[in-house]
Amino acid sequence: MDEAADVMAREQGAACARQPLLPVEYAGAAHCRAGLQELAADGHVGFVAHHDGRCVGVMCGRVVGAAGFVPAHGLAIDADRVDPTAVVVALLAVLAPVLLGDGATRFTVDHIDHPDLQEALHGAGFGRGSVFATQPARATAVATDVDVRVGTADDLDAVATLSQIELEHRTTSPIYGAPTTRTWAQARAEHEQLLQDGAVHFLARRGGHDVALVTVELTSPAPRLCPTRQPYIGPTATDPTSRGHGIGTALVHAVLSWAHASGYRSVSVDFDSANPLSRPFWLGAEFQPVGYRTRRALDPSYSGRLPAPSARTG
């Protein structure tokens, strides 16, 4: 555990030198060790790799839904290695059978923005699925022609309707996400719970109707990539008939200004790499990529076929 934490801390330190918006606390071995301990307590199986008597990598994962998931704070490769491909493949070779035995039908790996690590995962058959991005909270120019407000419990009907639009968009070309089975009532209940948990809904109104939504949560879903206890943009949506009028930009400016006025340091978001609307929008709004989610499909015949290694707590 100590060796793995040291590798992760050194990798994060090198990454923070390139991208200061990454959480700096993971450049400390003690914080990395605590994160690895939490993963172990949460059912993750972990393996470390050694070369010439030195720890050169760690990979921890567990099955979430049908995906064998490796979070960014469960993966680290020695920052001094020029080509980490061999380490990534070696770790995946021992972790994959465990996840397959636990019912995984695909693999998902989160990782920091590191060109060599990206190339290593590509070499192992992973393709980029989504991007995690961050920017500093800041005061911005307020759009005078867009009515933006913070929603309340009375706005949950509008919030649910807009969030359903966003989910439906993910199933269209070229994203081809899995069809949603969430009902409008379920969407409303989910956002009601988010509101109770402290989330903030920003709504934009046009022509007497609510036409766009940005949901801000205060918990990062990607530790080590996006700062914890800082605003994180969750469900967003704009009615198709209202796109192209600067409404989304006005909402983002409202979120950045609100975060700055509330004393927060940064705002983060994630978006699908294949989404032709999201990628240019978020990058154009000055969010800087700090990490990625990569995915690898599996032939269905492998699901549950391979026995798990005996060293499940390695």
**pLDDT by residue (tens digit) across 203-246?**
999 888 999 999 999 989 999 999 989 999 998 999 988 888 89
In Å, how far from its chain's centre is CA 279?
A: 14
Let me know the angle formed at the C-alpha of 146 by 144 and 147, rounded to the nearest 5 degrees. Answer: 105
Q: Which pTM does this prediction carry?
A: 0.90
Report the alpha-carbon angle 161-276-187, nearest 5.
20
Q: What percent of the chain has pLDDT over 90?
A: 73
Q: What does the pLDDT read at residue 314?
A: 40
What per-residue confidence (pLDDT) applies to 302?
64
Q: Rounded to whole angstroms, how far apart are CA atoms 277 and 237?
A: 11
Top pLDDT among 148 and 305 is at 148
For 16-41, the pLDDT digits (tens) are 999 999 999 999 999 999 999 999 99
For the chain, where do the domains classified as CATH 3.40.630.30 start and end? 2-132+295-302, 138-264
- The distance of Cα 280 from the centroid of its chain, to the nearest Å, equals 18
Topology annotation, domain 2-132+295-302: Aminopeptidase (3.40.630)
Output the six-digit token pair for 302.
Answer: 């492998």
Residue 109 pLDDT exceeds 70:
yes
Tell me the pLDDT tens digit for each residue of 69-82: 999 999 999 988 76
Asked if residue 92 lies in contact with residue 58, where contact means CB atoms within 8 angstroms, the answer is no
The fold of 138-264 is Aminopeptidase (3.40.630)
Q: Taking residues 138-148, report their average pLDDT.
A: 85
CB 10 within 8 A of CB 79: yes
Q: What is the pLDDT of residue 310?
A: 43
